[in-house]
Amino acid sequence: MQLKTLKIKNFRSFLEETVVPISDFTALIGKNEAGKSSLLEALEIFFNSSLVKIDEYDRPATSDSANAEITCVFSDLPERLSLDDTSETSLSQEYLLNEDGDLEVKKVFNLATKSPKASTYVIAKHPSAASVTDLLLLKNTELKLRLASLQVDSDDVDLRNNSKIRQAIWQSQTELLLQRKEIPVEKEDAKAIWISLSKYMPMYALFQSDRKSTHEDREVQDPMDFAIAEAVKEMEGQLETVKAAVERKVLELATKTLEKLKEMDPALADDLTPRFKSEPKWQSLFKLSLDDHDQIPIDKRGSGTRRLILLNFFRADAERRMLNAKAPAVIFAVEEPETAQHPNNQRLLVEALLNLSEAPNSQVIVTTHVPALAGLVPLESLRFLDRAASNRIAFGADTTYQQIADTLGLLPDKRVQVVVCVEGPTDILFLKAIGRILRTDDASLPDLDGDPRIAIIPLGGSTLKDWVGQNYLKSLGVSEVHLYDRDTENPPKYQETCRQVNARSGNHFAVLTIKREIENYLHSDAIFESLGVRVTFGDTDDVPLLVAEQLHISDASAKAWNLVSSEDVKKKSSRAKRRLNQESVNKMSRTRLEQRDPSKEVESWLRKIADRLTN
C-alpha cells in the first residue's frame, strides 16, 4: 500500500480541512510555524501514536468542535483479504473503496477527553439503501435473518461465510444507492477487514530534529530500532510459524496437565482453560547499539555526527531495499534534514533520501525552511506551506519555486561567479561525476564539486520559461551557462530558451545536447558494470526507459513488461534515470566518454564554465 493523500482537520493550526498530496518523495517547505512538523506528527499519530501522542492541547484555540480528524488515502491495494482461515474477500466486493478506487481511512479523536482514543472509519462509495447499508456491521445470525427477510435465494450461498451472504444480498437488489459514506471499523466483519488491512499498512518512521542529546537519543536509536522492526515485519510469516509451533506444543502439555488434574479434581479441571495472555513482542527481544572503539557515549558526540549516522542509515537502507523488492512498505519522515550538517552533507542526505524514495515500497517525506534544498528536489515533489494564504498548500505549479523564493528569501553566496542552469538534479550528478573523471588528468577543467565560484541550479523543465523569460538571476550579476536536453521534439522544446539566453548582453551561454539527453553519453559497459543489464542504444533512444525495461525483465517474478501500467513505467524509468546518473556515471572513464563522445561535446560544456571564472 502507498500513501496517496493526507487530510487533516481541526488539529493544531489546521482548523479547516487541508489536503496534502503525497508522492514517492514529498518535501514540505515553509517558514517556521507553517505547520510542517504538525503534518509529520499527524501521520505519526495515525500510524503509531507512540513517539507523538495526541492530547487536548492539539485542539485549535478558535475551534467549535472537539473532534480532530486525520485521514489517509492509500493506493496500490491488496487484491484479496483473508478474514479467517476459510473466508476471503476484497475491498471492491465489500464496497470499501472511494470514488477514485482508493482506500480512504479516517481517524477521529475527541480532544475534549484527557486521553483521546481513535475512532476509525473507512470512507467509501457504499450502499446506502436502508436494507443493505449496515451489512458489514452484522453478525452471522443477523445476516442470515436479513437474507431471509429480503427473500434472497440462499440455495447456492455458503451460510457460514459472511462475505458470501453480503454478496448475495447486494446482488439481489435493483438499487443500492451508492453514496460516499463513513463505515466504522470497530465491530464484526468491518473490524475483521480492518485487522486484515492493517497487515498491509506501510510502516511509518519519524525522525525528528529537535530533541535533547542523551545516549537514548532517538535520533541515534531510531534507525537501529526501526531496522529491527522492519526485519521483524519482513520475517512475519516465519515468526507466525514459530509462534504456532510453540503454542501447539505448550497447549499439548497444558491439555495433558488438565487431563491428569481431572483424575484428581474434575470440578477444578473443568473450570480451567489454557489461554495465552498476550502476543509475543518479537521486537523487544533484540537490542542493537552503535559504540565506538573508545566507548565514548553518543550523547558526547556532536549533533552533526549523530545526524551523520542517520544519513548513512538511509543510504544503507536504500541500497538494501533496491535489492529486496519484498521489503515491507515504509514511509520515512525526516524533519529538517539540514539540521547540524555541513552543506555537503545536506546535499548527500537529500540525495540519499531521493534514492530511498525510488526503492520499491518506499516513500520519503521531509520538512525544511531552507530554500536552497528546494533546488535539489523535483518540482512535483514540493509542497509549499503558507499559513497566511487562503490556499495553504501550493504544489505542482510553475510558480512554486518563485513562491518559495519570495516567502523564504534567497541569500546568494557572494563568491559565486558562474551559475550553471540544468533541468534536473540528475543532470547535476552527471556533470559532477564526469568533471571529477576528466579533472584527473586535466586540472584546467572546473571543480564542480568544491569550487565555491560555481553554483549549479536545477530549474525544472516546466519552470524554464519563467526563469529565462523573467531573467530571475539578473540581480545576482553573474555569468550563466545553460545546458538543456535536446529530446526528440522538432523543433527542440528549449531551442527558444537557449536563443533568449544567448541573445542577452553579458557573458552568458546556452546550448542543447547534440544527443537526446544526458544519459545518451553513458557507455553501455558502464551501465552493465553498475546495474547488471545490457542495453544497446543510439543517440536518440530513451536510455532510462530501455534500462528500466531490462531491470524489470531481470526480475524473474515480475509480470510481463507490456502489462506494467504507464504510471509504473514512468516510476521505473525515473528510478533508472537516477541510478544511471548516480551509479553508472561513476563507471565511466575518459576512454569510455571519448568512445561515446568523440567530438568532446561534454568537455566543451566544462570549458565554457571554466572560461567564465576569474581568480
Cα 88 from chain centroid? 29
- What value does the mean pLDDT take over residues 133-141? 92
Question: Would 101 be classed as within a structural domain?
Answer: yes
CA atoms within 13 A on the CB side of 485: 23
Residue for grid cell 487484491: 79
Question: Would 480 be classed as within a structural domain?
Answer: yes
Average pLDDT, the chain: 84
Long-range contacts of 233-237 (CB under 8 A, 24+ apart): 233/203, 233/328, 234/326, 234/327, 234/328, 236/199
Flag whether pLDDT at 345 surpasses 80: no
Q: What percent of the chain has pLDDT over 90?
A: 44
Question: Would 55 be classed as within a structural domain?
Answer: yes
Query: Are residues 331 and 278 part of one domain?
Result: no
Query: Are residues 393 and 517 part of one domain?
Result: no
pLDDT tens, position by position, 465-522: 555 555 556 666 788 999 999 999 899 988 988 998 899 888 999 999 999 999 999 9
Flag whether pLDDT at 336 surpasses 60: yes
Flag whether pLDDT at 219 surpasses 50: no
Flag whether pLDDT at 592 surpasses 90: yes
The H-or-E segment that residue 89 falls in is strand 88-89
What whole-number distance in Å separates Cα of residue 445 and Cα of residue 451? Answer: 11
Query: Are residues 156 and 137 part of one domain?
Result: yes
What whole-number distance in Å separates Cα of residue 321 and Cα of residue 92? Answer: 30
What whole-number distance in Å separates Cα of residue 109 and Cα of residue 66? Answer: 8
Question: Would 413 be classed as within a structural domain?
Answer: no
Query: Are residues 424 and 548 part of one domain?
Result: yes
Long-range contacts of 555-561 (CB under 8 A, 24+ apart): 555/325, 557/325
Residue 467's pLDDT is 54
Residue 133's pLDDT is 93
- 55-64, 111-120, 187-196, 305-314: least confident range: 305-314
Q: What's 300's DSSP letter? A: G
Query: Are residues 358 and 476 part of one domain?
Result: no
The 10 Å Cβ neighbour count of residue 415 is 10
Query: Are residues 587 and 533 part of one domain?
Result: yes
**β-bridge pairing 362-368 and 25-29:** parallel
Residue 127's pLDDT is 95
Of the three residues 372, 387, 408, the one that is the final residue of a domain is 408
What whole-number distance in Å separates Cα of residue 198 and Cα of residue 1? Answer: 10
Amino acid at 403: Q
Residue 277: pLDDT band (50, 70, 90) is confident
Query: Are residues 541 and 447 part of one domain?
Result: yes
Q: Please work out, in degrees rounded to the nearest 5, the angle formed at the alpha carbon of residue 356 by the alpha carbons of 314 and 458.
A: 110
Question: Would 531 be classed as within a structural domain?
Answer: yes
104 or 318: which carries more pLDDT confidence? Answer: 104
pLDDT tens, position by position, 28-48: 988 888 899 999 999 999 998
Question: Would 235 be classed as within a structural domain?
Answer: yes
Strand partners, 484: 512
Give per-residue burial for 507-535: e unless 16+ CB within 10 Å, then b. ebbbbbbebbbbbbbbbbebbeebbebeb
586 or 281: which carries more pLDDT confidence? Answer: 586
Residue 220's pLDDT is 40
Residue 66 lies in domain: 2-24+31-204
Strand partners, 456: 420
Question: Would 592 be classed as within a structural domain?
Answer: yes
Residues 313, 227 contacting (CB under 8 angstroms): yes
Question: Counting every residue, how long is the chain?
Answer: 615
Of the three residues 263, 279, 300, the one that is the final residue of a domain is 300
Query: Are residues 508 and 604 part of one domain?
Result: yes
Query: Are residues 315 and 221 part of one domain?
Result: yes
Residue 462's pLDDT is 47
Give per-residue burial for 347-384: e unless 16+ CB within 10 Å, then b. bbbbbbbbbbbbbbbbbbbbbbbebbbbbbbbbebbbb
CA atoms within 13 A on the CB side of 467: 24
Query: Are residues 182 and 146 part of one domain?
Result: yes
Question: Would 149 be classed as within a structural domain?
Answer: yes
Query: Are residues 568 and 469 part of one domain?
Result: yes
Overall number of domains in the chain: 4
Largest CA distance in the chain: 105
Q: Please work out, in degrees rounded to the nearest 5, the angle formed at the alpha carbon of residue 547 by the alpha carbons of 545 and 548.
A: 60
Query: Are residues 231 and 220 part of one domain?
Result: no
What whole-number distance in Å separates Cα of residue 461 and Cα of residue 426? Answer: 12
Of the three residues 170, 204, 238, the one that is the final residue of a domain is 204
Amino acid at 55: D
What whole-number distance in Å separates Cα of residue 552 and Cα of residue 208? Answer: 35
Q: Please work out, in degrees rounded to the nearest 5, the angle formed at the alpha carbon of residue 207 by the alpha carbons of 204 and 213.
A: 145
